[in-house]
Copies of this chain bind each other. A is one copy, B any other.
Amino acid sequence: MSLSDPLPSWNESQAKQSILDFVTRVATAGSRDYVPVNERIAVFDNDGTLWCEMPVPVQVFFICDRVRTTASKHPEWRRTEPFKSILAGDYRTAMATGTKGIVDLGMATHAGMTTDEFVLTVREWMAHAVHPQLKRPYTTAIYQPMFEVLSYMRSRGFSTFIVSGGGAEFMRVFAEDIYGVPPHQVIGSTIRTHFELRGGNPALVRDPSHDFFDDKIGKPVNINRFIGRRPIACFGNSDTDREMLLWTTLGRSDGRATLGVIVHHTDGQREFAYDREHVLSGQLDKGLDEAGEYGWIVADIKKDWKVVFPTAARPAQQSF
């Protein structure tokens, strides 16, 4: 590692070299693979790619805490799943209610307030919540090596976008502070909102109605809807990122050089180890089989990352 190494938390490895080579090739004037700045679009999954998603994604912790905090206003929750199990501390039973249960939880905790009120609720929660196993604030449960990739790519003219199955308005509260990604470059799942005047003043109200699930085949759809341009680099960690990896790297009529990277969770000591087995979020099965075929780089956390989470001294990082 030289002093000017833009990825100091990465061990010298094929993954690190592939990222450095790709960025240099597309961002160097005169290079055969040169790409103009306005086409240097990189997309990043969030849960499991930029920060920890185990044992459940951070937003699920938020939901559970909100259910407990607001339970006194909802006596019916004591008799209704999945609320009942969450209030009893039995997350396994709650999660076993599947998609319907999780959608019910999402609506109960993410709707029925203005957008401004929701932002304040998330900000307040995020300022105090701590990851139960990692024993650190969620805002520091981000992957230092990936933070370096974000910063490095931006320093070479890339626009970095988050494209996550998580809630867009949840992530937007902290993504600029912890990743340097502004709200309009955070794409995620959404519920509907409507405009109204309250006492003469405009408000946007969050309705308990599903809008768009930004996952799997929804990711390329939303990349087109929000970015309107095909990314040339894509970072994911699970099979739910497969379609956006395909959309980035395969069958392009513009012939652009592309980069696809899969973060492989191999380190049960420093983080969590998981891949082919079914998990609530983060299953990686097809992706491991297809990476070779499509030329996607697999970054092995155990072997490739010198550190996983930021240490206290991280001057490039704004405090939250």
Q: Are B251 and A172 in contact (CB under 8 A)?
A: no
Distance (Å) between the CB of A222 and the closest chain B CB? 10
Does any Cβ of B come within 8 Å of A220's Cβ?
Answer: yes
Interface residue tally for chain A (C-beta within 8 Å): 38
Chain B: which residue is nearest A225 at the CB level? B190
Chain B: which residue is nearest A254 at the CB level? B116
Q: Are B201 and A251 in contact (CB under 8 A)?
A: yes
What 0/1 pattern do residues 192 to 221 of A give for CB contact below 8 A with B? Answer: 011101001110100000000000010011
What 0/1 pattern do residues 153 to 164 of A give for CB contact below 8 A with B? Answer: 000000101000
Chain B: which residue is nearest A119 at the CB level? B228
Q: Are A228 and B186 in contact (CB under 8 A)?
A: yes
Distance (Å) between the CB of A243 and the closest chain B CB? 6
Instruction: Please measure, in the bound complex, the distance between the C-alpha atom of A197 and the C-alpha atom of B182, giving whole angstroms.
Output: 32
Chain B: which residue is nearest A175 at the CB level? B228
Instruction: Please measure, in the bound complex, the distance between the C-alpha atom of A182 and the C-alpha atom of B226, giving whole angstroms.
Output: 11
Q: Are B38 and A228 in contact (CB under 8 A)?
A: no
Q: Are B253 and A116 in contact (CB under 8 A)?
A: yes
Query: Which A residues have a C-beta under 8 Å from some C-beta of B?
Result: 38, 115-116, 159, 161, 168-169, 172, 176, 182-186, 190, 193-195, 197, 200-202, 204, 217, 220-221, 224-229, 243, 246-247, 250-251, 253
Can you list 12 A-B contacts with CB-CB less than 8 angstroms, sorted by A residue number?
Answer: A38-B176, A116-B253, A182-B229, A186-B228, A193-B221, A194-B217, A195-B221, A195-B243, A197-B246, A200-B251, A204-B221, A204-B247
